[in-house]
Amino acid sequence: MRTITRIAALLLTTAMIATPLSAQRAPRHGQSEANSPTAADTANPVKRTWDFTKRFGIPHFDNRDCASDAERLTDFVAEYNQRVDIFLAGPTDPKKLALERKNYVKQVLGTERSITSFLGIFEQTGERSPDGFVPSMQADLCRAQAQRNSLVAISVGLKAIARVYPDMAEVAPRLAQVNAALAKIGDDKTIQKYVSANRNETLATVRMKPPLASNPAWEKGLREGFARLVPGEAILKLNLYSASWYVHKNEVTGYPQYRQIGAWVASKRADGSCWINGIDLWQNYTGTGYDSGEYKLGKAPQQILCENV
């Protein structure tokens, strides 16, 4: 008997594993696959209302990359709205909708925080501290556009809930909030102008740090090392950020393993832009002294206005 029970349990587990994940778990809060209109419709008002509310909610758009997101968002919105259209065009179960109302009110109220967050990220895109990493302009634009896409998804969801629950008073304030946020962000040209202004404001504050020491021999070697590593850039200034050798020792034996010095290098590229780079000289300990070492570039280059070098 125990053997039969174990076999039955094994068969049940196997069936669950073989069942597609989408069939085991149906998300109800706005995922793109959950909003697909491909599910077969039914004339039974109770069943179709249960099926609809199981998948319906404020959607979340999964931003991936700038090259495809615009087209994907269009398809995402069309499929989401089509599902709502299909549901509202047929019979519905008022009792089930009434039971779910509290859940949708909660979702609507929750969008206030999301809208504020997405708009805040947009407003800060392109801003950073003078010493912070500066991504490419395209990366900043993608980040800003992603916030707009997410807000569009919220707007679509709020409008849909208002269609299903026309008397839900909580929707109007949040819809006004998201519309105001989208109006502030604007189209791609407005986004580019806004992000460029933020980047330029940060760029104007960037300065090259003063040298921590003066050592003509070190400076000469570091200049030559940078020229070999970055032959296409003209060196404008070099400031040592090492006042002495940093010596790394073995934690167990206490013997030195290598030593390092470095400098900030301001250089000018062929396009006329100026950048702050880091370069280091690393020398390995040989047992009796240090080898001639190897020059290596340090942190990622940071742009600086040429007049501020």
Q: Are 239 and 211 in contact (CB under 8 A)?
A: yes
- pLDDT confidence of residue 40: 54
Instruction: Using pLDDT thresholds of 50, 70 and 90, give the confidence band for residue 7.
Output: very low
* Statement: residue 15 has pLDDT above 90: no
**Angstrom distance (rounded) from CA 184 to CA 204:** 25
Lowest mean pLDDT among 41-55, 142-156, 168-182: 41-55
In degrees to the nearest 10, what's the CA dihedral of 190, 192, 194, 195?
160
| DSSP character string of 48-88 | HHHHHHHH-SS-------HHHHHHHHHHHHHHHHHHHHHHH
Residue 193 CB burial class (10 angstroms; 0-12, 13-18, ≥19): exposed
Per-residue tokens: 105: 């009110």
Q: Within its chain, how far is the Cα of 2 from the centroid? A: 53
DSSP 3-state assignment of 285?
Answer: strand
Domains, the chain, in order of start with CATH, read 22-203 (no CATH), 216-308 (3.10.450)
**Angstrom distance (rounded) from CA 70 to CA 275:** 33
- Give mean pLDDT, residues 131-157: 94
Per the DSSP assignment, residues forming a β-bridge with 256 are: 249
Residue 167's φ and ψ, nearest 5 degrees, are -100, 10
**Angstrom distance (rounded) from CA 190 to CA 29:** 31
Q: Are 246 and 258 in contact (CB under 8 A)?
A: no
Lowest mean pLDDT among 30-34, 85-89, 107-111, 201-205: 30-34
Q: Tell me the pLDDT tens digit for each residue of 222-235.
A: 999 999 999 999 99
Which phi-psi region, left, alpha or beta, contains residue 120 (left: φ > 0; alpha: ψ -120 to 50)? alpha
**Angstrom distance (rounded) from CA 249 to CA 257:** 5
Q: Which residues of 22-34 are buried (b: 16+ CB within 10 A; e: fewer)?
A: eeeeeeeebbbeb
Instruction: Using pLDDT thresholds of 50, 70 and 90, give the confidence band for residue 118.
Output: very high
- How many CA atoms are closer than 13 Å to the CA of 18, on its beta-carbon side? 6
Q: Which residue's entry shows tokens 């206005």? A: 305
- pLDDT confidence of residue 283: 98
